[in-house]
Amino acid sequence: MTIEETSVSETETTSAIHYGHFVGGDWRATADGTTFEVHEPYTGKVFGEVAACGQAEAKAAIEAASVAFQGWAELAPARKAALFLRAAEIVERRRERIADLLARETGCTVFFANFQQDLVKQTLQHAASWVYQRKGDILQSDVPGTYSTAVRRPLGVVASFTPWNGASVLAWRAVLQPIAAGNTVVVKPSELAPVSAGLIVAEIAAEAGFPPGVVNVVTHAPGEAKVIADEFFENPEVRCINFIGSVQTARMLSERAGRVLKRTVMELGGYNPMIVLEDVDIDYAVRCATFSAFFHQGQICMNARKILVQRGIYDEFLRRFVEKTKTLRRGDPQNPETVIGPLITPQALASVKERVAEAIELGGKALTGGNHQGQVYEPTILVDVPPEATVCNEETFGPVTIVQPVDTVEEAIAQANRTMYGLTSAILTGDTYRGFELAAQVKSGAVHVNMPTIDDEIQAPIGGVRDSGWGRTGPYSIDDFTDLIWVNVQSGQRKLPIA
């Protein structure tokens, strides 16, 4: 089959996928026919061959989105809702196939792959109600005969950058939130997961019957993102940059957006402290810590990077946490019993190894883990890590967490707030009301009391504070992807002060 003709649903799971890019409702090859290979993190085998787009393809995608914008913005809510629900049905029908592709392309476990498909389906179903969200307010006016309103209007074309981790969930989120608000979208998925983080979305949107140009996807070879990003920033039809990714990249994108006065929505990383108070059920705390620290090999922005434990239970908590961690099965992500799969690339593995080595060189100790087989890094618990170690201050995208004793609740809160990240956090305590009171003191976009640091509910306003970004998810995203316009109507003639 040609690149344009091939789709995920038409290939075998054991063969490489061949994919073009998706513009204006059509699958296309690049102008010069260039492609790049995507490799499976666990086996190193070629997973797929994908179109290597450049400026011309990005420009064409923006043009298609711009042409489609007015018609989509004016489409009746019932028509939009029906499309979202139809897409949810397709996701459910194809969930096993898509989950298999996710595991192969991103190295996520079978459990996480299936979890993502469940969440995608729920998100699509919820999105059907977002198109009916309040789009304005009636305002009081002191002027007689005035009908004053504040009305939300879509921005136009939104350029969404989607990541490889949580690829399916985050790609759909980056598409659904802007289009539910009436915008059209051009998606630039990560070159590490172009299928899961973008092309599958386009395929399902096309099958569901979305109008051409509402969803467009341009893929690029490793190291070639700048060409597409340049077009996003320089093209006046793009009115918003929607980015999910690292703080470092977000700084560069925000600076560029500022120069051309384009709106940005940023969902970034986090350091995500977990506070464990001495009145907690230790076994439950260990289960929460294990899930928070090591889910998806520590490659989620919500993973717990530091666990702060009151000294009265520190030794016992640590003993049980180490024992539990040693039982986590490592290896092939397609094995349903695997808990810890591979890191996404050899470079990611090297970064984790370097940070753990630095922590140990500075005096820290690894109570378990610290080794790897292939790209599968063992879940690692560090203690006695000095505050100057990089792993104490920066998000380390791997199955590595620090456990640190604290004497008082006040010290725990201070340690939790010592970094400039602020995405999510957790407080574990036997006194739920006390946990609720303490939550107000943690500088974080989410504080989970007696829960893991990782949670995702479609109706919740997920997003960061401080260096973890701005903007919120779900129905709260309507404000991020619309302009608020004052429409003021005078009945009759208003008395003017100088005429």
Sorted by sequence, the CB contacts under 8 Å of residue 165 that are 6+ apart come out as: 106, 296, 299, 300, 301, 344, 397
Supply the residues annotated as catalytic. Answer: 267, 301
Give Cβ neighbours of residue 364 (< 8 Å, ≥ 6 apart). Answer: 382, 383, 384, 385, 386, 389, 402
Distances (CA, A) of 246 to 266, 268, 291, 379: 9, 5, 22, 22
DSSP 8-state code for residue 160: E
Using CB atoms within 10 Å of the CB of residue 78, give its burial: 0 to 12 exposed, 13 to 18 middle, 19+ buried: exposed
Q: Which two tokens stand for residue 179?
A: 């289009």
Q: Are strands 400-406 and 372-373 parallel, antiparallel or unpaired?
A: unpaired
Q: What is the DSSP letter of 197?
A: I
Half-sphere exposure of 39 (CA within 13 A, CB side): 12
CA dihedral 288, 294, 300, 302 (to 10 degrees): 30
Burial of 249 (0-12, 13-18, 19+ CB in 10 A): middle
Residue 114 sits at the vertex; the CA angle it makes with 28 and 339, to the nearest 5 degrees, is 120
Residue 161: DSSP 8-state: E
Query: Pairing between strand 184-189 and 157-162?
Result: parallel
Strand partners, 149: 138, 487
- Asked if 381 contacts 403 with a C-beta cutoff of 8 angstroms, the reply is yes
Nearest-angstrom CA–CA distance, 250 and 243:
7
Task: Report whether 6 contacts 13 (CB < 8 A).
Answer: no
DSSP 61-125: HHHHHHHHHHHHHHS-HHHHHHHHHHHHHHHHHTHHHHHHHHHHHH---HHHHHHHHHHHHHHHH
